[in-house]
Amino acid sequence: MGKLDGRVAIVTGASRGIGEEIAKVFAAEGAKVICAARTLREGDHRILTGSLEHTVTEIKEAGGNATAVACNLADEADCRRLVEETKRIYGPADILVNNAMMSYLEPAMDLTTKRWDLSYAVNVRAPFILSTAVLPDMVKRHHGAIVNISSGAAIGPGRGPYKAETPANVFSLYGSTKAALERFTQGLAQEVFRHGVSVSCLAPSQVVPTPVIVRMGMVKGIDDPRGEPPDVMARAALLLASEPVEKTAGRVTYDQAILKEFGWIKSAKGTGVDTKGSGYSQS
C-alpha cells in the first residue's frame, strides 16, 4: 500500500530537479501524476537538461503512472487548461504541488519590469490560479492538499546598517516572490481548513544541487557535499501531502526539520534546525 494510492497529483516544474523527484516519489507511492512544465522533450530547453518526457518515462519504467502536460505557467489560460486536462485524463486533482519557478539573479535596480512581472507570474500568480482552480473539487470532496515550494531566499538579509563592501543582493526578486508565496499559503490555509483541505509551504534546509542551481554557480556540481539530494524535498512534500490536515495546514517549514519532527529521519541540519527560518515558519 502506497501513501498516495488512488490519488491524482499535479506537480509543476516536473521536467528536472526538485519537481522531477517529487513526481517520481509521488508515483512510487501510488499517485497518478500529471507532470507539468514548459520543457516537453529533451533539447526543448536551450540550456538545461531534463524534460517532461524523460520524467514520465522513468516513472513508467519503475511501474508508476504519469502523464506529461506541457504548460506555460505565466499564462492564465494555460494554467486553467492544465487543471482541466488533469480532470480529463485522471479525474479531479487531490494534490497540487506548486514547484515551478522563474527568476533572474540581478540587483533590483538592474531588473526590467518585464522580468519582475514574469517572475511574479510564475512564482506567485500561477500558484494562486492553480490553487483556486483545483479547490472547488477538493472542497466538494472534503479532502485535498496543496504544497507550495519556497526557498531560504524568503528569509532576506535583515535590517541594516550594512557593510559597504558587501556584494549587491541578487535575491531581492526571487526572495520577495517566495515571501509572498509563504504569506499566501497561510492565508489560503486558514480559508480552506474547515473544508478538510491542507495548504502548506516547504523549503530546503540546505541548498539542493539541481541543474538550475548548478548553472547559477551556487554549488560546484550535482554532488556538491554542501547540498542535500532532491529526494529529501520529495519525501518532505510527500509528508505534507499525506499526513492529516490537522498536522499540516498552514505549515511553512523546511524539509529536514519536518522529516525529523515526524520521525521520518533521525537527524537533521540546516535552516529550520540549526538556524531559524522565515517569520512565517515560526508563526
Residue 71's Cα: distance from chain center in Å? Answer: 16
- Catalytic annotation present for 150: yes
Instruction: Please state the φ and ψ torsions of residue 128, each to the nearest 5 degrees.
Output: -65, -50
The x, y and z cell numbers of residue 96, run together, are 497540487
CB within 8 A of 200, min separation 6: which ones? Answer: 145, 146, 147, 148, 185, 189, 240, 248, 249, 250, 251, 252, 253
Q: Which helix (H) or strand (E) holds 114?
A: helix 113-120
CA distances 131 to 15, 40, 80, 126, 137, Å, are 20, 23, 10, 8, 11
Residue 86's Cα: distance from chain center in Å? Answer: 18
Which among 90, 120, 174, 254 is annotated as catalytic? 174
Cα separation of 218 and 129, whole Å? 31
Strand-pair partners of 69: 36
- Catalytic annotation present for 174: yes
- Catalytic annotation present for 176: no
Cα separation of 245 and 171, whole Å? 32
Residue 42's Cα: distance from chain center in Å? Answer: 22
Which among 32, 178, 254, 280 is annotated as catalytic? 178
Which among 15, 150, 151, 198 is annotated as catalytic? 150
Helices and strands counted in the chain (H then E): 10, 7
**Residues with catalytic roles:** 150, 174, 178
